[in-house]
Amino acid sequence: MARKLVVRRGAKVGAPPGTLVHIGKHKPDSAAIRLIGYTPDELSESVIEDMDSYARETDAERILWLNVDGVSDAAVVEKLGALFELHPLVMEDILNTDQRPKVEDYQGYLYIVLRMLQFDQGRQQIHSEQLSLVLGPNFVLSFQERPGDVFEGVRERLRAGRRIRFMRTDYLAYALLDAVVDHYFEMLEYIGEQVEALEDQLIDAPGPDTLARIHHYKREMLLLRKSIWPLREVLSRLSRDESTLISEETRLYLRDVYDHAIHVMDSIDTIRELLVSMLDLYLSSISKRMNEIMKVLTIFATLFMPLTFIVGVYGMNFDVMPELRWRWGYPAVMALMLVIVVGLLVFFRRRRWI
């Protein structure tokens, strides 16, 4: 099993809060930091090679999007934290990549944690990655555990100079949240198709691994639900709270993402209940099948056991067995056995076994 049910937080036991140690699974060699800065009029993209030489821009009108791939380099996070004046708890949470989704309102910025999910079609497993967003008045910081994300569409729209370029950071954050939640749908649609294929298979011809696969998807739904459930509250708070960083217009859009998140939860629950019902169906059909097998066995056994007994009787070697000497003894015994067979068949028919 690749993913753990519960991730070790033990390294932190007894350590003071704010101790910046990366706790997580993915350890790329170093963090890659991509910077996109834009105003309605222009946009520049760059990769920050050396964190030390980077200085924060001071133009309040220009919006910065700093995306960090790989948070295992605690020094990078610490440097960025110092530049953007993040609270020690925020930096700690960015590094400990097994947080529950949450939103926290700090002085001057919002800190949002959510899970970015990928479905590994080879192993049929969901991989979960922590995405931390820091939403300030003119900057958005996004921290991912690994390279590769679902934000390429957002970048395209930024480059193309679309509407997003004319909006503030709250709209950029919304666009990122929307991309993450929309990706959940894509993933769930794929899983939904797999489960429905399994359902068809279940009724037609259950294979030897059908059972294990039902269990497997139930397990994935369990982990998925655990990852997504708290997101509802995050999006609900973002679209209702009175933080000045989020405009009324953007709240409307966030409410839309919230609706989508509810929809995702509904779909997860529907798939889960379907899987439970499938397991019931499987168990019932096994019982039914067993019943049929037992019926065949019982019919055969009850038919042949009396017959075998009778032929056994006339296979005995007693000196005095008058029937053996009778001329019509053999046909009489055969007829007797025929009568028994017919009688038993009538008995089975009455019990609706045949």
200-239 residues in contact with a second copy (CB under 8 A) are 200, 203, 205, 211-212, 215, 218-219, 222-223, 226, 229-230
Task: Return the residues of window 292-311 that contact a second copy according to CB under 8 A.
Answer: 292-298, 300-309, 311
**DSSP 3-state of 19:** coil
Q: How far is the CB of 351 from a second copy (least distance, A)?
A: 8
Contact call for residue 25 and a second copy (CB under 8 A) = no
Neighbour count for residue 116 (Cβ, 10 Å): 23
Q: How far is the CB of 321 from a second copy (least distance, A)?
A: 5
Which region among 65-73, 138-146, 157-165, 234-242 touches a second copy (by CB under 8 A)?
157-165
Residue 241 tokens, joined: 């709270």
Task: From 248, 259, 230, select the one nearest 113 (Cα to Cα).
Answer: 230
First to last CA, the chain: 48
> Of 147 and 207, which CB lies nearer to a second copy in the complex structure?
207
Provide the mask over 56-85, with x wherever binding to a second copy is found by CB under 8 A and - wherever it is not.
Answer: ------------------------------
Residue 297 tokens, joined: 């066995």
Q: How far is the CB of 139 from a second copy (least distance, A)?
A: 21
Please select the residue that binds a second copy; options are 20, 48, 168, 192, rule is CB under 8 A: 192
Contact call for residue 54 and a second copy (CB under 8 A) = no
Contact call for residue 317 and a second copy (CB under 8 A) = yes
> Of 44 and 300, which CB lies nearer to a second copy in the complex structure?
300
Beta strand 102-106 with 125-135 is unpaired
> Of 31 and 227, which CB lies nearer to a second copy in the complex structure?
227
> Of 51 and 253, which CB lies nearer to a second copy in the complex structure?
253
Could you write out the three-class secondary structure of 230-291? HHHHHHHHHHHCCCCCCCHHHHHHHHHHHHHHHHHHHHHHHHHHHHHHHHHHHHHHHHHHHH
Q: How far is the CB of 311 from a second copy (least distance, A)?
A: 4
Contact call for residue 27 and a second copy (CB under 8 A) = no
Provide the mask over 98-127, with x wherever binding to a second copy is found by CB under 8 A and - wherever it is not.
Answer: xxx-x-x-----------------------
Contact call for residue 345 and a second copy (CB under 8 A) = no
Task: From 330, 326, 296, 328, select the one nearest 310 (Cα to Cα).
Answer: 330
> Of 27 and 166, which CB lies nearer to a second copy in the complex structure?
166
CA pair distance 291, 99, nearest whole angstrom: 50
- Is the Cα torsion angle 66, 69, 75, 77 positive or negative in sign? positive
Task: Return the residues of window 133-152 that contact a second copy according to CB under 8 A.
Answer: 150-152
Contact yes or no for 271/199 (Cβ under 8 A)? no
Contact call for residue 161 and a second copy (CB under 8 A) = no
Q: How far is the CB of 55 from a second copy (least distance, A)?
A: 28
Please select the residue that binds a second copy; options are 21, 82, 313, 346, rule is CB under 8 A: 313
Largest Cα span, the chain: 121
Q: How far is the CB of 48 from a second copy (least distance, A)?
A: 24
CA pair distance 40, 168, nearest whole angstrom: 10
Q: What is the DSSP letter of 160?
A: T
Please select the residue that binds a second copy; options are 50, 52, 327, 339, rule is CB under 8 A: 327
Q: What is the DSSP letter of 137?
A: S
Contact yes or no for 159/234 (Cβ under 8 A)? no
Residue 154 tokens, joined: 């957002």
Task: From 282, 100, 107, select the one nearest 201 (Cα to Cα).
Answer: 282
Q: How far is the CB of 325 from a second copy (least distance, A)?
A: 6
